[in-house]
Structure 1
Amino acid sequence: MLLAFDVGNTNIVLGVFKDGKMITNWRLETDNNKSADEYGMIIGALFQYEGLSVKAVKDVIISTVVPSVLYTLQHLSLKYFHRKAIVIGAGIKTGIVVKYDNPKQVGSDRIVNAVAAHAKYGGPLIIIDFGTATTFCAISEKAEYIGGTIAPGLKISSEALFEKTAKLPKVELEVPGSVICRNTINSMQSGLVYGHMGMVDYIVKKMKKELREYSNDDSADVKVIATGGLATMIDSGIDCIDHVDKMLTLEGLQLIYEKNKKVRKSDSKAEQERCEYGEETF
């Protein structure tokens, strides 16, 4: 089995794959203070609850946007699964050509999403990830990562509104049902949720135009794929999203693992080494 970690600023999403198919997944809070042993005990309990054996895990792959957690999970992989984890970054074969000015600045989660979305839906496409930040990524028909946009996520916006104002309360992120609201909580929910929907609608419209100009095809069918915890809420109020795919990042990790597993070498302790590739791969 393969154990995949998608580490975000707010949550760690874990997926277990057997023969290329996801058999279960879990969501944990990202905690910089947790040790490898603490995470190990939690994961062990989750495996036991699902009737899975930790010993059946043959490899581990990690995508993280939180560098401080990476060492902990690498240590976890070595101690509990006896594998040196594959870490998404420079030297890993993905099949995506990164056109960013500095490819190293692209978050690993955005590349992983691109791999999965292009494999499942083709291109050109726009990927929106509703996480701590809301990211928009443009992928060409030729599997080129062209670039994108990063905006504050809904939760960040909500927390900023609460922390930077004297009288406004903390609110749950829910669709209030109207924009003419008669109380403060609904008014804040309206501004946050409908404001985010409007932002998404505008950026997608503009990004589609630029993608078609990039491909010199005014009639190109640009698909829009949404992922992340708040994707369903935002999709409920706008028409520009074609597919909501909550497991996109985990599926991308499994695809990247398949591209890299044949060149991983085992040492005498059955640990794995990463192989280096050419400059065109991320």
Structure 2
Amino acid sequence: MLLAVDVGNTDTVFGLYQTGTWNHIWRMRSLVHENVSHYESKLRLHFLEAGLSFGDVKTVVLCSVVPDMTPIIQKMLRSLFGDEIIMVGPDIYPELDIAIDHPHEIGADLIANAVAVMSRYKQNCVVVDFGTALTFTTVSKDGKILGVAILPGLVTAVKALFANTAQLPEVPLKLPASAIGKNTTEAIQAGILLGYEGLVKSLILRIRTELGGDCIAVATGGLSSIIETLKDEFVEIDRKLTLDGLRIIGERVKSF
């Protein structure tokens, strides 16, 4: 059994993989002020409720984009599963060439996404990850991360608007029927969701143009299905893409 752990800015995701499938996926809020025992008790409860034993886990793979949480989660995992925790970084998967100026600056989750699509597809691909940040990671058909575009995610954009404007409320992420909002909620939904629809299409088109038109797009992340009108832009929408990349990395490391 393999345990993949993805520490993100909003949530930390734990995925248990066995016999070709993700049997369990659990989410916890990423709270930097909490200690090791907080996360350990929650994970113990998940294992208990699922009737699982920590001893059944043979491989643990961790990626984190929250530096303050990384040592906390590392310590928790080592106390439960031993010291052989695979930590994802730019050198973890030799088959992936990170062809950017400063490879150590790239998020570990983006590395996992790139590994997943380069293993699944053998062609140029842009991975659009709808998370706390909205990221576009371009991977070439020969296994190179060519570069990344980053901007605030959907929830981040809504929260920023709510926090910095006195009269605008926080609204649900629901695609409006019209770009012409008839009330404040619809106005914000039109601006954010329809605005992001155009933004995503525009960036994918520009990336494809720069690659001579030869590039597929794959979506992932917790909000990847929110903007339904974007689904035809992608050959696949897979919320487990990052976990799959972590699994592939774990299996690769264990085989050597």
1:224 aligns with 2:217: yes
The alpha carbon displacement at 1:165 in A equals 0.8
* Contact preservation (8 Å) 1:59, 1:83: no
Q: Look up the match of 1:105.
A: 105
Q: Look up the match of 2:154.
A: 154
Output aligned runs, 1:194-273, within 5 Å.
194-212=194-212, 220=214, 222-237=215-230, 239-263=232-256
Partners in 1 of 2:31 and 2:65 — Cα distance?
13
* Contact preservation (8 Å) 1:94, 1:256: no
Could you tell me which runs of 5 or more consecutive residues in structure 2 were left unpaired when the two chains were aligned: none
For residues 12-68 of structure 1, give each alpha carbon's deviation from its aligned partner in whole angstroms, at most 9, with x where no partner exists.
111111245322111111111222221111011111212211221122110110011
Amino acid at match of 2:201: D
Aligned length, in residue pairs:
256
Percent identity for Structure 1 against Structure 2: 35
- Partner secondary structure for residue 199 of structure 1: helix
Partners in 1 of 2:242 and 2:24 — Cα distance?
14
Q: Look up the match of 2:30.
A: 30
Task: Calculate the aligned-residue CA RMSD, in Å.
Answer: 1.4
* Contact preservation (8 Å) 1:197, 1:238: no
The alpha carbon displacement at 1:93 in A equals 2.3
* Contact preservation (8 Å) 2:225, 2:231: no
For residues 177-215 of structure 1, give each alpha carbon's deviation from its aligned partner in whole angstroms, at most 9, with x where no partner exists.
211121101111111111111100000000001122xxx
Distance 1:16 1:242, change over 3 A: same
Partners in 2 of 1:173 and 1:16 — Cα distance?
29
Q: Look up the match of 1:165.
A: 165
The alpha carbon displacement at 1:173 in A equals 1.1
In the superposition, the TM-score normalised over structure 1's length comes to 0.87
For residues 225-254 of structure 1, give each alpha carbon's deviation from its aligned partner in whole angstroms, at most 9, with x where no partner exists.
000011111243463222101100001001
* Contact preservation (8 Å) 1:114, 1:145: yes
* Contact preservation (8 Å) 2:4, 2:14: yes
Q: Look up the match of 1:138.
A: 138
Amino acid at match of 1:73: I
Could you tell me which runs of 5 or more consecutive residues in structure 1 were left unpaired when the two chains were aligned: 213-217, 264-282
In the superposition, the TM-score normalised over structure 2's length comes to 0.95
For residues 128-163 of structure 1, give each alpha carbon's deviation from its aligned partner in whole angstroms, at most 9, with x where no partner exists.
000011000111110111002111111111011111
Larger Rg: 1
Partners in 2 of 1:236 and 1:55 — Cα distance?
44
Distance 1:11 1:190, change over 3 A: same
Q: Look up the match of 1:268.
A: none
Partners in 2 of 1:237 and 1:105 — Cα distance?
29
Partners in 2 of 1:235 and 1:229 — Cα distance?
13
The alpha carbon displacement at 1:88 in A equals 0.5
Partners in 1 of 2:64 and 2:174 — Cα distance?
28
